[in-house]
Structure 1
Amino acid sequence: MRHQTRDSQQAREAKLDALHTKLTESVGALVSGEDWRRALEFSARFRSRSFNNTMLIYIQHNEAFQLGRVLAPTPTYVAGFKQWQTLGRQVMKGQSGYGILAPVTARFASRTPNNSESWRRLGRGERPQPGEVARTKMVGLRPAYVWDVSQTDGDPLPTQPAPTLLSGHAPAGLWEGLAAQVEAHGFTLHQVPDAAAIGGANGLTDFSTRQVSVRADMDDAARVKTLAHELGHVMLHSPDASGATDGAAIDAVLHRGIAEVEAESVALMIGAAHGLDTTTYTVPYVSSWASSVPGADPVEVVQATAERVRTTSLRVLDQLDTAQVGDGDPPGLIRETTQRRVPGRQAPGRSTDTPESRPVIEQTEQAVGL
């Protein structure tokens, strides 16, 4: 039994190593601004997943396409083995799942939660003692698996409406929704007559006066894109923005190139989530801004930047009452809000990413940027 446990642990570590290698290679391949734009567009359509996991899904699906196992080069909807079953669909024989990174969590308890050394790990089924505070923390990673809808068959999925836009037009309610969020952060929004009024820019965020300005002489789509860009600055780069004290935020403030990349990327993801044409969104070469932080690994800078962009975009999108494209989850998938213990044993290549376990996994995944 001890040999089996050790062999199982070694097999899991080997799979994790392989996934980390694949992830590093895929992120390292983001060389140009065009590559970055395509990666974020894909992430916008799979925004229920972390940036790292969207990259893993993208590259593995493309590999499957090259081998002729799937018919399209990009996936449509992905879900775990048992999640597909809840929708009346089955993974087809011979279809391998796409490995992703999922956190392993454990329960901890403490009588003095402000003391980081006071937390003790609870055993399986153990409950906190009277007076103790309990929290769930991530203690590691495990490989999990998802499949694209094209790798399954069974009941048809519900039809999901997609936003349709005319060139130059903005989605209904998007300007108003973004403007409300700018004002909710304590900034006033002004529409100026032209670029000359704000130093030749399309938009400007002034943290000293807490004012956001946007040119009024652009078409609706351009105005919305600019407003989303400035909202990105407001949320990520204001001295009192939420999370502005973390290392990534400080890097962005100190290195103007990263701050502009983050703001433009937030605008890009919000636009892509609404079906806007994002081909005109401009991001400089990844190699230039990813190398601007002294002593930092460019791949890690890209991953941190992308995850900050994704989580910020999600905060914006979740508050908008607008028609948006899907988030990568199959239409009709209902996630349970309660957690049940996931069985420790599973069939090879099958996911424990079940509706019961997913809410906790997703919450932790977003928090740690997996």
Structure 2
Amino acid sequence: MKRDEATKLSDELLADLASQLDGGKSEQLVKYLDAMSQFHNYSFGNCLLIARQRPNATLVAGFHAWKKRGRIVKKGEKGICILAPMVRKADDDVEGEKKVFGFRAAHVFDIEQTEGDELPDVNRVGGDPGDALDRLRAASSSLGIVVTEEEDLGGADGVSKGGAVVLRSGLSPAEAFATLAHELAHELLHRGEDRKTLSKSVKELEAEAVAYVVARAAGLENALLQASDYIQCHRGDSEMLAKSLTRIQQTASRLIEAIRETETVAS
């Protein structure tokens, strides 16, 4: 697949997703958010491309990246086409900062298309977040957000207060993890100018989607996602949907990376 073909397919997939949501179908959105939880370092457009070309993919990397990890791509395997950014120093940038000036077609391969050394599985923790909850709390601190607990939050499980998150005491580890991820999403997404332009329902559903992706990445099962309500927020508007999903991907990726960095320091 060439760059233009990949770009066209990505646009078509987004338009199709918006159309399905407008028609009352949310199953495809959940599938793409599941893909996002697996491939949080990839843009939402590339998540769309990966999910479309290989729906059962669980871990992807380029040919040489696999080789560095002790695995090789099996003979005859067909790569998954994605769009990779091309960067270079801007002509007018004296500080040497690199900027994206275009995209090219690149190919990645799912782990099932490779063979070689076994890889550690750090994300699969069943229905219990294990030490991922402690790492998420530590990640919150690294982001400058204080996490505390109170017995009564007026019926809520968590509250975002701008620089602080309060959780209701007594939550199970899984509930605490998902709730903290939800409130951290509010902290990262909705404390700037966006809070003035986005409706309350969009903000809540963005936070819920981020929590879903982060919880799935941590191996939690039955993470709640009010995907059906997303239909009412976007009404088939593919441009609005793309912006929202990009924000969700970037925020979920930031939290997942923060958790992993905390894990590395702790180990």
Do they fold alike, i.e. is TM over 0.5? yes
Shift of 1:142: 2.0
Contact 1:37–1:283 under 8 Å retained in 2 = yes
Shift of 1:281: 3.6
In 2 relative to 1, CA 145–185 (structure 1 residues): closer, same or farther, beyond 3 Å?
A: closer
In 2 relative to 1, CA 90–175 (structure 1 residues): closer, same or farther, beyond 3 Å?
A: closer
Q: 2:252 aligns with which of 313, 316, 326?
A: 313
Contact 2:201–2:233 under 8 Å retained in 1 = yes
Q: Does 1:212 align with 2:165?
A: yes
Tell me the equivalent position of 2:154: 199
Say what the alpha-carbon RMSD is for the aligned residues: 3.0
In 2 relative to 1, CA 133–289 (structure 1 residues): closer, same or farther, beyond 3 Å?
A: same
Q: 2:79 aligns with which of 97, 104, 107?
A: 97
SS class of match (1:96):
coil
Q: Does 1:134 align with 2:134?
A: no
Inter-partner Cα distance in structure 2 for 1:146 and 1:166: 27
Tell me the equivalent position of 2:135: 177
TM-score (norm 2): 0.80
For 1:229-308, list aligned pairs within 5 A.
229-238=182-191, 244-245=192-193, 249=194, 253-291=197-235, 298-308=237-247
SS class of match (1:133):
coil
Inter-partner Cα distance in structure 2 for 1:30 and 1:157: 41
Inter-partner Cα distance in structure 2 for 1:49 and 1:265: 16
Shift of 1:84: 4.4
* 1:157 alignment partner AA: D
For 1:30-45, list aligned pairs within 5 A.
31=21, 32-45=25-38
* 2:107 alignment partner AA: Y
Inter-partner Cα distance in structure 1 for 2:187 and 2:211: 12
* 2:14 alignment partner AA: T
Per-residue CA deviation, residues 312-348 of structure 1 (Å, 9 max, x unaligned), is: 222222222349xxxxxxxxxxxxxxxxxxxxxxxxx
Q: Does 1:157 align with 2:112?
A: no
Inter-partner Cα distance in structure 1 for 2:255 and 2:10: 30
SS class of match (1:277):
coil
Contact 1:30–1:286 under 8 Å retained in 2 = no
Per-residue CA deviation, residues 244-282 of structure 1 (Å, 9 max, x unaligned), is: 34xxx357x531112111211221122111101134343
Tell me the equivalent position of 1:334: none
Instruction: Structure 1 unaligned segments of length 5 or more: list them.
Output: 1-10, 63-73, 114-131, 239-243, 292-296, 324-370
Per-residue CA deviation, residues 274-331 of structure 1 (Å, 9 max, x unaligned), is: 101134343443321124xxxxx722222222222222222222222349xxxxxxxx
Contact 1:58–1:75 under 8 Å retained in 2 = yes
Q: How many residues align?
A: 258
Tell me the equivalent position of 2:89: 107
Shift of 1:229: 0.9
Contact 2:178–2:211 under 8 Å retained in 1 = yes
Shift of 1:159: 3.1
Q: 1:27 aligns with which of 11, 17, 37?
A: 17
In 2 relative to 1, CA 43–214 (structure 1 residues): closer, same or farther, beyond 3 Å?
A: same
Instruction: Structure 2 unaligned segments of length 5 or more: list them.
Output: none
Instruction: State the identity %.
Output: 24
Is the radius of gyration larger for structure 1 or structure 2?
Answer: 1
Shift of 1:211: 4.3
Shift of 1:202: 1.5
Per-residue CA deviation, residues 45-98 of structure 1 (Å, 9 max, x unaligned), is: 112221210110111124xxxxxxxxxxx01332334444554524533x4322
In 2 relative to 1, CA 203–30 (structure 1 residues): closer, same or farther, beyond 3 Å?
A: farther
* 1:319 alignment partner AA: A
